[in-house]
Amino acid sequence: EDQVTQSPEALRLQEGESSSLNCSYTVSGLRGLFWYRQDPGKGPEFLFTLYSAGEEKEKERLKATLTKKESFLHITAPKPEDSATYLCAAGGGGADGLTFGKGTHLIIQP
Amino acid sequence: KAGVTQTPRYLIKTRGQQVTLSCSPISGHRSVSWYQQTPGQGLQFLFEYFSETQRNKGNFPGRFSGRQFSNSRSEMNVSTLELGDSALYLCASSLVGTGNYGYTFGSGTRLTVV
């Protein structure tokens, strides 16, 4: 059974304090590893897709990386508007949709 | 361009009733997936449709069903509602239903069963 585990569950940072969010996955035949951002009352907003170990993608203050067992979302010099829940999801070879982690609730304090 | 549109945004139903939720994907997207989001379980995959055919189905009882129309719009139906069906129901569309492209989510339908 495909599994995705995110840590920490919650993270509080000061503005400008860089950190990383972790996503561990156990998926047979990974088709893609996805990162989403979700704000309260809204649907998840697509950030990145990673397909193979060693791949990296960047967008503004966010950088996503992928190994054979984990993905990291690095946030550099975050701002209060980066506060959100960050979701990791894996698409497996069984093609039973995406398997999501429970998310990391990130709070950036000014 | 217009995003994924889900209607209605909020819904309150009584136990035992049935409900139909609607999703209009981004123009040109032929794959539509449905997810249930609850505080305890997070996002869980319900089913995926591509060109009017159900391609995959998650581990939900048969009370949950869906369909897709020729214009790619999709509906999901839940019959004999239970209190535990209260959740945010999210629809996502993508260009190709293989998982190799980012899925774009709608804002969801918040269903409350009383």
d(CA B106, CA B26): 10
pLDDT at A97: 82
Of the partner residues B99, B104, B106, the one whose CB lies closest to the CB of residue A91: B99
Read off the pLDDT band of A27 (50, 70, 90): confident
Do the Cβ atoms of A97 and B104 come within 8 Å?
Answer: no
Percent of all residues in chain A with a pLDDT value above 90, rounded to a whole number: 85
Task: Please say whether the beta carbons of B109 and B96 come within 8 A.
Answer: no
Average pLDDT value for residue range A85-100: 85
Q: What is the pLDDT of residues A49-76, one digit of tens each?
A: 999 999 999 999 999 999 999 999 999 9
Average pLDDT value for residue range A5-18: 98
Do the Cβ atoms of A32 and B99 come within 8 Å?
Answer: yes
d(CA B13, CA A60): 42
Phi-psi region of B62 (alpha: psi -120 to 50; beta: other; left: phi over 0): alpha
Taking CA atoms, A102 is separated from A4, A38, A105, in Å, by: 8, 12, 9
A44 and B CB contact within 8 Å: yes
d(CA B63, CA B5): 23
Query: If DSSP codes are grouped into helix, strand and coil, which group holds residue A62?
Result: strand
Query: If DSSP codes are grouped into helix, strand and coil, which group holds residue B63?
Result: coil
